[in-house]
Amino acid sequence: MQRNKGLKVENNKDFKILYKFVFNDKLEKLFKIRIDSETLNLIRESNDVYPEWTKLSMFGCSHCPLDKKQNEYCPIAVSLKDIIDFFTNMPSYEKAKIFVLHNERQYFKQVSVQVGVSSIIGIIMATSGCPILAKMKPLVKFHLPFSSLEETEFRVLSMYLLAQYFRARKGLTADWEMKGVQKIYEKIQAVNQNIAKKIANLEKKDTSINAVVVLNNFADFVTFSLYEMDLDHLEKLFENYFE
């Protein structure tokens, strides 16, 4: 485990997730993601001027529930702007040392840039204010960088079932058969596909595009497992609960 003493997280009502990229040419880039602890909404730096492409009418998805009259800009677009701008000239396959600090734990991995960018984009999209991706917010609170497909599947399904428990406690209908996960992920996949197309028109290289593709592959994996109800590989983990 490599240590990076340059990463620190301050203790306050907001929490931060820090991603530091160290590239082969010694160039370094630090992304500080600030999130409100109560709402799990992304805290953006005040910026009254956004480029034309970030407008909801240009970047928004066809199934976006936001009212264009009340929302001039796409929350995902304005939130991803800095990421897209920085990586626009960088190929996705370039290697980087990536340090992540969250909840006083530090993670490190030397991997292709697209993997690290995918992890950042996942956080930003969920907390951006997009109503479709808002259901992924609980995962941000317990963010796991560089998670595998199986880890993501376990975390998503666990989160969804816990949500159903809380719904039941409030007297609401609970979906114990997890049929709703499929519907959520179908909408998420549509968002991912739209974003990838929009970014393709903005970037000179393919880092951010491929990062979204990586996210969509995770969505495909979870959705496929539920369509097929192929959860035997997870059921085996719970044998001690069947006694």
Q: What is the pLDDT of residues 159-195, one digit of tens each?
A: 999 999 999 999 999 999 888 988 898 888 888 888 8
φ/ψ of residue 95, rounded to 5:
-85, 150
Q: Retrieve residue 73's tokens.
A: 């800009």
| Residue 1 pLDDT level (bands cut at 50, 70, 90) | very low
Could you write out the DSSP letters of every residue in 20-58? EEEETTS-EEEEEEEEETTT--B-PPP-S---GGGBHHH
Q: How many CA atoms lie within 13 A of 45 on its CB side?
A: 8
Return the domain boundaries, the chain. 14-241
Q: How far apart are CA 215 and CA 124, in angstroms?
A: 12
Identity of the highest mean pLDDT range in 81-85, 86-90, 134-138, 210-214 = 134-138
8 A C-beta contact, residue 134 and residue 126: yes
Please list, in sequence order, all residues whose beta carbon lies within 8 angstroms of the beta carbon of residue 70, skipping any fewer than 6 positions away: none
Please list, in sequence order, all residues whose beta carbon lies within 8 angstroms of the beta carbon of residue 142, skipping any fewer than 6 positions away: 155
Classify residue 116 by burial, with Cβ atoms within 10 Å: 0-12, 13-18, 19+: buried
Q: What is the pLDDT of residues 13-68, one digit of tens each?
A: 789 999 999 998 888 999 999 999 999 999 987 666 788 989 999 888 889 999 98
Q: Retrieve residue 2's tokens.
A: 């490599």
